[in-house]
Copies of this chain bind each other. A is one copy, B any other.
Amino acid sequence: MNEVIELAYALDTFYFLISGALVMWMAAGFAMLESGLVRAKNTAEILTKNVALYSIASIMYLLCGYQIMYGGGSGFIPNFGMLIGADNTVASVVDGDAYYSVMSDFFFQVVFVATAMSIVSGAVAERMKLWSFLIFAVVMTGFIYPVQGFWKWGGGFLDAAGFQDFAGSGVVHMTGAAAALAGVILLGARKGKYGANGEVKAIPGSNMPLATLGTFILWLGWFGFNGGSQLVITNVLDANAVAAIFVNTNTAAAGGVVAALLTARAMFGKADLTMALNGGIAGLVAITAEPLMPAPLLATFIGAVGGVLVVFSIVTLDKLKIDDPVGAISAHGTVGIWGLIAVIFSNDAASIGGQLLGIISIFLWVFISAFIVWSILKATLGIRVSEEEEYEGLDVGECGLEAYPEFTRTQ
């Protein structure tokens, strides 16, 4: 009988690791999406940011983030700890105390925090100083994210209050968006984005295949993101659940693409590819709060509403002069909120009150703490590059090289 338990432990661990690897892959997705949607002259810098932020998140979450988030504590205040504890012994597994390796759990969690941080980098693209951003990443992944993560997934007050967030529409996506929003507000818009008379000007992204590739990568990675969040797969019901999550995740994204494409067609007269891509991501974000319970048709609908919302949100933020080059705040923030609310359509354990409490708590915590950190950075190192560097491109300024030295000629 112990062999069976060990085998189940192995399968659950493996399922967790593969799910985590898929989520890790989302880091590449964000890197490609963002580098496709910025101008050529800022491409190497955004790539550097993405590679570095993933690395920083990996290290900071190892150092202290994981223990803050899952080390216990109660209510608002997590315990503070460091590193990872010992893995499960055979005895404890056989006794039924553990379903999967602690290390695999850590791995699955660490890629989540990297996702949240990736969301930030797109929104502040094309004007933020590289090193200030990276310092922010240290604080965000080592402290800001883990604290709210503790509130819900670590057993803190939001969990107690019945707030439902299956895989992180709030804990991960809205969190990233809130930190991004704080940064964007302090940073201001890119030069040339808004005309003297307030008109919104387009700054086209430089590489659509990359943006599309990034979206497909995210789509694939999301099967790990949502599918792994069931945590266990080794019995019929859990296996069915993981399968249902895969189907819902896929169909919500599909709904998001179609809805965003039609919305863009109706509003702008053209099949705006970038909106379709944002729509797909919006569909994924929307279903993330509850990818298990909805029937596939409802999941498609939840994703489709996300796809519509993201288009309106992007246009609205632009009117408010909140300049987000890749639409991250809309896709992860606006739609993250929608996803959290949509939980009540299918999950009886969720209440509108509980969901709002979660949304507000997380948003305020992240926005305010991020705002403070960004402000300190602004007052010290500065967060925005010089006007000249912005004109010439961050690639040469920050990285000393060009992303496409042979393709573009005048900067």
Where the two chains meet, the residues of A that have a C-beta atom closer than 8 Å to any C-beta of B are 1, 3-4, 6-11, 13-18, 20-22, 24-25, 27-28, 31-32, 35-36, 39-40, 43-45, 47-48, 50-52, 54-56, 58-59, 62, 83-84, 87-90, 93-94, 100-104, 106-107, 110, 130-131, 204-210, 212-213, 215-217, 219-220, 223, 227, 233-240, 242-244, 246-247, 250-251, 253-255, 257-258, 261, 268-274, 276-277, 280, 295-297, 300, 398-408
Contacts and interface: CB of A to CB of B under 8 A. Distances in A.
Contacts of A233: 10, 13-14
Contact of A234 (B10, B296, B403): B10
24 contacts: A6-B236, A7-B235, A9-B239, A13-B243, A31-B212, A51-B212, A54-B254, A55-B280, A56-B258, A58-B251, A58-B253, A59-B255, A87-B240, A90-B236, A107-B247, A204-B405, A206-B406, A206-B407, A207-B403, A213-B213, A269-B400, A270-B400, A272-B401, A406-B407
Most buried by B among A7, A9, A220, A273: A273
A220 B21 contact: yes
A276 B48 contact: yes
Nearest to A252: B58
A contact face: mostly helix, strand, loop, or mixed? helix
A134 to B, nearest CB: 9
B93 A236 contact: yes
Contacts of A220: 21, 24-25, 28
Contact of A404 (B110, B206, B254, B402): B206
Given A7-B4, A28-B213, A271 B399 contact: yes
Contacts of A88: 236, 240
Contacts of A25: 216, 220
Contacts of A251: 58-59, 62
Nearest to A92: B236
A155 B26 CA distance: 39
Given A243-B13, A276-B52, A406 B296 contact: no
B52 A243 contact: no
